[in-house]
Amino acid sequence: MKFQDMPYTDRYAQVMDIMTSRGLLLGAYDKDGKPNAMTIGWGSIGSIWGMPVWIVLVRPSRYTYGCIEHSDCFSVCVPGRDLATACAICGSKSGRDSDKLATAGLTAQPGSIVHASIISHCPIVYECQVMHRNDIIPSELVKQLQEGPYASGDYHRLYYGAIVAARVADDVAQRLG
Ligand SMILES: Cc1cc2nc3c(=O)[nH]c(=O)nc-3n(C[C@H](O)[C@H](O)[C@H](O)COP(=O)(O)O)c2cc1C
């Protein structure tokens, strides 16, 4: 795949659509330099502090949480249709227990700017540097959310990552469908 730089707002609707269906892959390195990828279904792209930002939500129970706490960086990789099974694996197995990437048939490479694992074969990639983090405040949640996604606690930490690179592959249309 050949990549070129992309304005971070390009293909916004398509990226959100994929995020809420098969999910996106959140890449990060653990403290020993092992690459990890976790499927995410929640997140947001926007402009904060005069910079493009990805906000991702990661529960403390995830192996990825420790990875981002350690590295202060992450990638958001948009998988093509061919990676639907890999997304299901990355969304159900933990990098804490096994070589998840190998199980999912994925490989990773280092980011060009930040220290985050970039998942190969994903036709859109964002590299992000953590600028801020905050935790969901249980007492500020509406009842509906206290009883829904947080019925068992494990309140997400929100990571605000400045998008320092956004790239798209030349065959993106064919891969995303
Ligand atoms: C479609 C889908 C979306 C998900 N979205 C999120 C999310 O936004 N935040 C989160 O913390 N976990 C989310 N998960 C769960 C994690 O991907 C899952 O627990 C994963 O095994 C964690 O991997 P890790 O322990 O290697 O970090 C999602 C799972 C799926 C299948």
Structural domains in the chain? 3-169 (2.30.110.10)
DSSP of 7-69: -TTTTHHHHHHHHTTT-EEEEEE-TTS-EEEEEE--EEEEEETTEEEEEEEE-TTSHHHHHHH
pLDDT per residue as tens, the chain (177 positions): 899 999 999 999 999 999 999 999 999 999 999 999 999 999 999 999 999 999 999 999 999 999 999 999 999 999 999 999 999 999 999 999 999 999 999 999 999 999 999 999 999 999 999 999 999 999 999 999 999 999 999 999 999 999 999 999 999 999 997
Name every protein residue with a CB atom under 6 angstroms from any ligand 1 atom.
Answer: 23, 36, 38-42, 57-59, 62-64, 91-96, 100
Q: How far is the CA of 166 from the centre of ligand 1 (A)?
A: 22
Check: CB of residue 105 under 8 Å from CB of residue 86.
Answer: yes
Backbone phi and psi for residue 170, each to the nearest 5 degrees, phi listed first = -65, -25
- pTM of model > 0.85: yes
- Tell me the CA end-to-end span of the chain in Å, nearest whole number: 16
pLDDT at 41: 98
pLDDT at 177: 78
Q: How far is the CA of 40 from the centre of ligand 1 (A)?
A: 5
Q: Give the strand pairing for 51-58 and 43-48.
A: antiparallel
pLDDT at 38: 98
Euclidean distance between CA atoms 29 and 101, whole angstroms: 12
Q: How far is the CA of 113 from the centre of ligand 1 (A)?
A: 25
Task: Give the H or E element holding residue 4.
Answer: strand 3-5
Check: CB of residue 112 under 8 Å from CB of residue 127.
Answer: yes
Q: Which of 19, 38, 70 to mutate to test the pocket of ligand 1 (most atoms within 8 A of CB)?
A: 38
pLDDT (tens digit, 9 = 90+) per residue, 67-117?
999 999 999 999 999 999 999 999 999 999 999 999 999 999 999 999 999
Is residue 102 classed as helix, strand or coil in its secondary structure? helix
